[in-house]
Each structure stands twice: as structure tokens, then as C-alpha cells.
């Protein structure tokens, strides 16, 4: 039936949530389980002290040496089981760690069963209904509750099954005893020697079953939250490679923003290392890799500080966008951020060159071009590999402006559109009628006077 299938699928999704965890998260979860097991075993000492206090408080009800022996032997075995379990968990490489969790639960349930039988023999007066109605039945909740310290559904199920076996064994024993008294009178059931069989068969097991489901669901919620948190952190880590921290927070709060392709106004920055081909020929591959890594690290840091988004690295070139995926609501702010980022890049490069000169390395020169305009912004590619980027004439023009740095002899050039958006500052020198490669119309470019 569809209803039973949906219930089965829901239970399966709960108990198989661990299959969704990647390998590194499974390893972390295993470590957390080990810590939870250690905490649970240490907490067992607290429970043991409470059990010892309870047994001592009921000494007046024991009138045989056998009663004393069974009670305190059971508690002694409980502490011994706890000590052995703790010793096993502290071993670095013990194949008994996981197995003994089940052994410990089994021992706990057996000790509770022995205690109930002991009190039945001492105070039951031969009435087997005592086994079903004893308040000691609540002690079965203790091993069940300890399962909550670990993220393993199997422990919850195992503890619940142990309880069911003990409880229904008591009922079977009561039914086969001629002294058992069945009744439908609730008063006699609660305060007398009689038992309502239908209630005994259902009520306590259902309550324990609900508790087992509650503990299982609590574990499931914890695992699901861990899975979502890890996915979010992984997403943040990935996004932080391309976007500034402020933008990462906005993107995570609205992940669909990266998937929605749209036309929007963006400021594009291109940067390129001058003479990189000749420079790279002097370095072996490992030295070249170290150089590019350090160069990119320094440039990306200042780009992010100015709210830029790293679109891509193209060899020694860097393509950066400002206003992606979310444009600024303040007119001209994206262009201002781009210009500030470019200046910071040149300042950072100046500092790095001083460090390089002090150890006998050659100086590095870069050219930067900035343009603003409308682009298509969104995820582009195939199902196998998607890339968030911007495309359009604005991107091509920004690249050509960067190439014009050699012609004009300036490390930083911006288009007239960018110059207008940043307030027409006087520190820029106008270069009129520049024909960029691949374009038919000439444009005006502005080069910064301070050559850094």
C-alpha cells in the first residue's frame, strides 16, 4: 500500500542518512561517536551512584541475605561493566570498541532483569503480575537514553529490543502461572494484584517505542543539521575563492542568485603581468608555480578587500568583476571599488617588489584595464561543468584597455565611462581617440598620473 511504502521510505531515509555523508565527514562523525561513547560511559558512573543510593534507600524492604547480595552484586557488576567499557574505549586500536557498545547495553538490560526478578522473589508473594507492574520497569529507560550520546540508530534499536524481550518474557511467565489474576477493573489493576492484559501488552511497549523513535529522530536531526552545516561550509569555502566575504554571506542566503542568468551592469577589471613569457622561461616549473601562487594570493586579497569577485585566472592574467552577482545600489560604487582595487593592487605589487629586490629577484610589472557596461551574468557551461562568469562586449573592451597599457605607457587605464562614474577626478590624464584592437570606433581612455 502507498501509505506503508511512504512510512517505510521515511524510516529508511532516517536510518540511512549516514550514506549521504562524504568520506571526510564520515571520519569526523566516527570521531564524534567515540567522544560521545566516552562521555556516555563516564556518565554511567553518575547513574551508578544514583542506583546505589536508590538501593540503599530501599534496604528496609529487604529481609533476606539473598536480596542484599543480588542488589549489590548487580550494582557491582554494573560498575565493573562500566570500568571495562571505559578501558576498551581508551585503547587506540581496539576492535572491541564498537562491539562492546552492544555488549554493555545487553549487560545493563540483563542486570535490570535480574533486579526485577530478585524483587519479585523477595516481595512478589508468588504473584507473577508483580513482574509486569513493578516500578523498576522504568530502569530500562536508562540504557536506552544513553544511546542519545552517540549517533547510532542501531544502539537505540538494540536497547529497545532487549527491553521488549525482557518485558514480554515477564508477561509470558505471568500468563503461564495459575496464580496470575486477569481482570478488567482499573482500580484493581493499579492498586491491587490483578492485571489488565490488553493494557499490559500495549501501553509500556508503545511508550518505550515512542521514546526510541524520539531518540532516533533526535539523532537524525543532529546528523541532518551536521550535513547541512557541512554543505554550507563547503559552499562558503568554495565561494570564498571567488567572492569577497560580504558577498559570500549574501550568496549563501540566496543560493539561486548564481543560477539565474541575467543582463546587468558590471565593472570589469583585467590585469596582466608584463613580459611574463620571457620571465617564466628563466624559472623551472616549481619556481613558477610558487611565484604565481604568491602573486595571486596578494592580488586576490586586495581585490576582496574592495568587494571584487574573482572571475578567473588566465595564466598570469586576472579577470575581476565588480557588481556580481549583486550590483551595488549606489550609482558608480562598483566602478569606484574597481579603481580602488586596482590602486591597491599596484601598491601591493610595489611592496612585493621591494621585498623581491632585497633578495636579488627581478621586479614585476603589471598592466590593469577597467571598463563598465552591460553584460550577461550567470552560470555558463554544460551539465558536467558549470562556470559562473560574465560575457559581452564590456568584457572584451576591458581586456583591450588592459592591452593598451603598453601603448600608453601606464600601469592603470580606465575607460571614459568609468572615469565619469568615479566623479571625473583630476589625477587622470586623458588619452583621446584610442583605437583598440578589434574595435571600429575610437574611445577616450584615462591613465593614472602616479605610476606607482
Could you give all domains of the chain from N- to C-terminal order, each with its CATH number?
A: 1-238 (no CATH), 245-448 (3.30.70.1230)
337's CB contacts (< 8 A; 6+ apart) are 267, 306, 307, 308, 322, 328
Cell of 304: 576582496
The sign one gets for the Cα dihedral 295, 296, 299, 301 is negative
Residues of the chain with pLDDT under 70: 1-29, 59, 61-68, 93-94, 229-261, 379-388, 450-452
Measured N-to-C along each axis, helices 23-57 and 197-239 cross at an angle, to the nearest 10 degrees, of: 140
pLDDT at 416: 93
Cell of 189: 489493576
pLDDT at 373: 92
pLDDT at 415: 93
pLDDT at 244: 52
φ/ψ (deg, to 5) at 326: -120, 115
pLDDT at 193: 77
pLDDT at 247: 52
Strand pairing partners for 413?
Answer: 369, 447
pLDDT at 44: 87
Instruction: Indicate the helix (H) or strand (E) that contains 374.
Output: strand 366-381
DSSP string, 225-245: HHHHHHHHHHHHHHHTTTS-H
pLDDT at 183: 75
Amino acid at each position: 500500500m502507498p501509505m506503508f511504502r511512504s512510512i517505510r521510505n521515511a524510516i529508511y531515509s532516517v536510518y540511512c542518512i549516514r550514506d549521504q555523508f562524504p568520506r571526510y565527514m564520515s571520519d569526523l562523525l566516527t570521531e564524534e561517536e567515540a567522544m560521545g561513547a566516552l562521555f556516555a560511559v563516564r556518565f554511567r558512573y553518575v547513574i551508578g551512584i544514583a542506583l546505589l543510593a536508590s538501593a540503599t534507600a530501599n534496604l528496609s524492604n529487604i529481609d533476606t541475605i539473598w536480596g542484599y547480595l543480588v542488589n549489590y552484586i548487580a550494582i557491582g557488576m554494573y560498575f565493573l561493566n562500566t570500568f571495562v567499557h571505559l578501558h576498551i574505549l581508551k585503547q587506540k586500536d581496539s576492535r572491541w570498541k564498537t562491539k562492546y557498545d552492544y555488549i554493555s547495553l545487553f549487560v545493563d538490560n540483563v542486570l535490570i532483569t535480574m533486579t526485577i526478578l530478585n524483587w519479585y522473589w523477595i516481595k512478589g508473594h508468588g504473584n507473577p503480575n508483580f513482574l509486569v507492574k513493578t516500578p523498576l520497569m522504568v530502569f530500562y529507560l536508562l540504557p536506552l537514553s544513553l544511546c542519545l550520546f552517540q549517533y547510532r540508530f542501531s544502539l537505540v534499536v538494540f536497547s529497545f529490543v532487549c527491553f521488549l524481550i525482557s518485558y514480554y518474557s515477564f508477561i509470558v511467565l505471568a500468563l503461564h502461572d495459575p496464580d496470575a489474576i486477569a481482570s478488567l477493573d482499573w482500580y484493581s489493576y493499579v492498586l491491587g494484584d490483578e492485571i489488565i492484559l490488553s493494557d499490559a501488552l500495549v501501553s509500556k511497549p508503545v511508550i518505550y517505542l515512542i521514546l526510541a523513535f524520539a531518540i532516533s529522530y533526535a539523532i537524525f536531526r543532529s546528523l541532518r543539521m551536521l550535513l547541512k552545516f557541512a554543505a554550507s561550509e563547503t559552499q562558503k569555502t568554495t565561494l570564498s575563492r571567488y567572492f569577497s566575504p560580504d558577498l559570500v554571506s549574501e550568496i549563501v542566503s540566496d543560493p539561486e542568485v548564481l543560477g539565474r542568468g541575467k543582463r546587468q551592469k558590471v565593472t570589469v577589471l583585467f590585469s596582466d603581468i608584463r613580459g611574463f613569457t620571457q620571465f617564466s622561461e628563466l624559472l623551472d616549473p616549481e619556481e613558477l608555480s610558487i611565484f604565481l601562487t604568491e602573486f595571486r594570493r596578494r592580488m586576490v586579497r586586495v581585490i576582496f578587500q574592495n568587494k571584487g569577485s574573482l572571475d578567473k585566472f588566465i595564466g598570469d592574467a586576472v579577470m575581476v568583476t565588480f557588481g556580481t552577482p549583486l550590483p551595488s545600489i549606489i550609482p558608480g560604487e562598483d566602478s569606484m571599488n574597481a579603481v580602488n582595487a586596482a590602486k591597491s593592487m599596484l601598491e601591493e605589487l610595489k611592496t612585493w617588489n621591494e621585498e623581491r629586490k632585497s633578495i636579488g629577484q627581478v621586479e614585476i610589472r603589471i598592466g590593469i584595464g577597467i571598463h563598465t557596461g552591460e553584460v550577461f551574468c550567470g552560470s555558463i557551461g554544460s551539465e558536467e561543468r558549470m562556470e559562473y562568469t560574465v560575457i559581452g562586449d564590456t568584457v572584451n573592451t576591458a581586456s583591450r584597455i588592459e592591452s593598451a597599457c603598453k601603448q600608453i605607457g601606464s600601469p592603470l587605464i580606465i575607460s571614459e565611462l568609468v572615469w565619469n562614474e568615479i566623479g571625473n577626478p583630476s589625477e587622470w590624464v586623458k588619452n583621446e581617440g584610442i583605437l583598440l584592437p578589434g574595435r571600429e570606433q575610437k574611445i577616450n581612455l584615462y591613465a593614472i598620473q602616479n605610476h606607482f
